Every structure is written in structure tokens, then in C-alpha cells.
Amino acid sequence: MQSPSPKLPLALGALVLLALSASAISPYDRGTWLLEVAPVLIALPVLAWTWQRFPLTPLLYWLIAAHALVLILGGAYTYARVPLGDWMREAFHLARNPYDKLGHFMQGLVPALVSREILLRGRHVAGRRMAGFLSVCVALAISAFYELIEWWTALALGGGAIDFLGTQGDPWDTQSDLFLALIGATLGLLLLGRWQDRQIARLAGHRVEGTTPCNI
């Protein structure tokens, strides 16, 4: 089996840690920052611990780092106040800052591809279509559970959870969050599945069989 180089995960990990440290200096609200970056604080040690036993494909390391940066930026400003989102709102004449939707899109895309890689490399399922279906299910389950966390946080903190919820007065915020996660998961599998297959094959030292243009 080909031995993967630690250079990419180390470089991306350093970038994420640098961004995390910078965001911690003076976030808009310290409690909201901690809630938003909590997934990053959990994922970094898990990835470091599992790297030698189960290194991921370069594609996944890039996507996980990008997702972490989205979360960190949202934590620093709160999602409703991220300048990039304000620019998008003005440029596209939107009613609200849409930056949180980018976060939920990534919340579908990244877990779906992580799940797909684990299912295929571990041979937990026989076919790629079933792996794709289950990966979308996992991504939606994670997104739904995150909505439950937001609900529990709101019950515990009351008005102090407004910035974390980031609904911006939208009564359909939860439903649109889940829909964006579904879009992210589906597009990720359709557009990146073959790329992921090639990287899995190089990582394992053999070609993955049964690759088709549509990997879900």
C-alpha cells in the first residue's frame, strides 16, 4: 500500500489552527464563537489521531479544511454579520445575509463524502449507488441533529442563542438549512465522486472497480 505523505494534512491543519487562533482574539461574541467553532475543535484532534491508521484522500483534507474555515469565519463575526454575506446580500438583492447557507451547504457536502469514503474503503456496502444513498442519509442526519442542537441551545440560553441560531427572522430557516445540506451532499457525490474514487485507488494501491459517471 502506498504510504501517504503527511505534508498536506499538516499544512492544512496549520492553516486552520492559524485561522482559529486569529478568530479567537476578538470575536463578536465569545459564546457564539465557541458554539460555532466547536466542530473544528472536535475534528482536529480526531483527524490527528486517525491519520496514520486511516489517512483520508487529499480531496477530503481540502474539503474539511474549507469547511473549517467557513465555520471559523462565521464564529468570528456571527453568521448574520459576515462581510462576505453582506456583499452577497447587496449584490443579489437578497432579504438577508446568506452566509449561513454556505455553512449548511458544506454541512451536507463534506459529511457525505467522508461517509462515502469510509463506506467504500471499509467495504461496508457492496455497491456505489448504495454507498451514495447512505452517504446522503448520513449528511442529512448530521444536519438534522445540528438543528436539534440549535433548538436545545435556544431552550437553554434563551435570547442569548439568537446569534447562534442565525435565523434572521426567517420562519423557514430550518427547512432551507436542511435543503442546502441535501443539495451539498448530492452535488458533492455527483461532481466529486469519480475524483474521490481515483484518489482512493491511489491510496489503496489498486484501482477501484465499478466506477461510473454517476456515483450515487
Q: What is the pLDDT of residues 154-201, one digit of tens each?
A: 777 665 555 555 555 566 678 888 999 999 999 999 999 999 999 999
Q: What is the pLDDT of residue 90?
A: 92
Q: Provide the pLDDT for residue 167.
A: 52
User: Which residues does the chain have with pLDDT short of 70?
Assistant: 1-3, 157-172, 206-216
Intra-chain end-to-end CA distance of the chain, in Å: 27
Q: How far apart are CA 79 and CA 121, in angstroms?
A: 35
Based on DSSP, count helices (H) and strands (E) in the chain, helices before strands: 8, 0
Q: Nine-digit cell at 39?
A: 466542530
The answer to whether 144 and 106 are in contact (CB under 8 A) is no
User: Rg of the chain's alpha carbons, rounded to an integer?
Assistant: 18
Residue 19 has what pLDDT?
97
Name the residue among 85, 106, 83, 107 with its Cα closest to residue 96. 85
Whether the model pTM is above 0.85: yes
CA-CA distance, 191 to 184, in Å (whole number)? 10
Helix or strand or coil: residue 26?
coil
Predicted confidence at residue 207, as pLDDT, reads 42
User: 3-state class of 197 per DSSP?
Assistant: helix
Decide if 112 contacts 138 (C-beta within 8 A).
yes
